Amino acid sequence: MEKSLSHVAIIMDGNGRWAKKQNKDRSFGHYQGTNNVRNIAIAAEAMGISVLTLYAFSTENWKRSAEEVNYLMKLPAQFFDAYMKELMEKNIRINLIGHFDRFPIDTQRVLKRAIERSKDNTGMVLNFAMDYGSRDEIVNAIKDYTADVIDNKRANDLSVNEFSDYLMTSEFGDVDLMIRTSGEVRLSNFLLWQMAYAEMIFVETHWPDFTPNDFKECVKQYYDRDRRFGGVK
């Protein structure tokens, strides 16, 4: 039935295990994982996908060692220094969902600059979920909605579609396809509302090894599936 593919979300898992397999530090896995963001973003853009949302840092990732968190905070600079020029040439717009203001000032500056530089681009949106957690997002949406009702900005008559407008993804809508790498089969607090009808694909490959061809294979599987949205064919 529904065969369009607009919004793809990826849980980029397995950087640490990938590095460990070759007796390297976890940070080397994150380094290669960041380079792979470029490969998959370019492939997604070429395939005409409208929005690619990547889970880059969860609200739970603060629990990692200070050393690892510090390293993760440097990834945006690594990424945009290396690839921003190419992303601009591809007309890709950078967006962020998550908290943002809890990051070190330098990291915030790098992210703001990428968003600002690309804000007029009209091609694919490369949407990073950073310091993002879906339950946190939903609770904040409820607070915003309640405030609007209390302030008499609207009636207490919320619909499902209107609730989506209170989420950080209001501009992008539901997820069509979710891919998680590295063999774990769970959602880890990622876009829970937006994935109500998403097709999900879990692959064994660790994120740094996940190639554009693997990505294309997932998209092919998506098109082979029969999306019924609770209806009958």
Catalytic residues, which ones? 13, 61
Given candidates 7, 10, 13, 177, which one binds ligand FPP under the rule CB under 6 A? 13
Rounded CA Rg of the chain: 18
Which of 50, 176, 54 has its CA nearest to residue 121?
Answer: 50
Tell me how far apart the alpha carbons of residues 53 and 39 are, in angstroms, rounded to a whole number. Answer: 14
Query: CB-wise, 17 or 216, nearer to ligand FPP?
Result: 17
> Pick from 9, 10, 28, 33: which binds ligand FPP (CB under 6 A)?
33
Position 98 contacts ligand FPP (CB under 6 A): no
Based on the shown chain and the rule CB under 6 A, indicate whether residue 76 belongs to the binding site for ligand FPP: yes
CA torsion, ordered 182, 183, 189, 195, to nearest 10 deg = 100
Q: Which of these segments, 27-35, 143-151, 153-161, 163-171, binds ligand FPP (CB under 6 A)? A: 27-35
**Distance (Å, whole) CA 134 – CA 60:** 11
Residues shown for the chain: 233
**Strands laid side by side in the 93-98 sheet:** 93-98, 125-132, 51-58, 7-11, 177-180, 199-202
Site for ligand FPP, residues 181 to 220, rule: CB under 6 A? 207
Of 17, 24, 90, 227, the one binding ligand FPP (CB under 6 A) is 17
- Least separation in angstroms between CB 19 and ligand FPP: 8
Segment interacting with ligand FPP, rule: CB under 6 A, options 45-53, 74-82, 85-93, 167-175:
74-82
Asked whether the beta carbons of 44 and 215 are under 8 A apart, the reply is yes
Q: Tell which one of 7, 9, 28, 34 touches ligand FPP (CB under 6 A).
A: 34
Applying CB under 6 A, the residues found at the interface with ligand FPP are: 12-17, 30, 33-34, 37, 56, 61, 75-76, 79, 128, 207
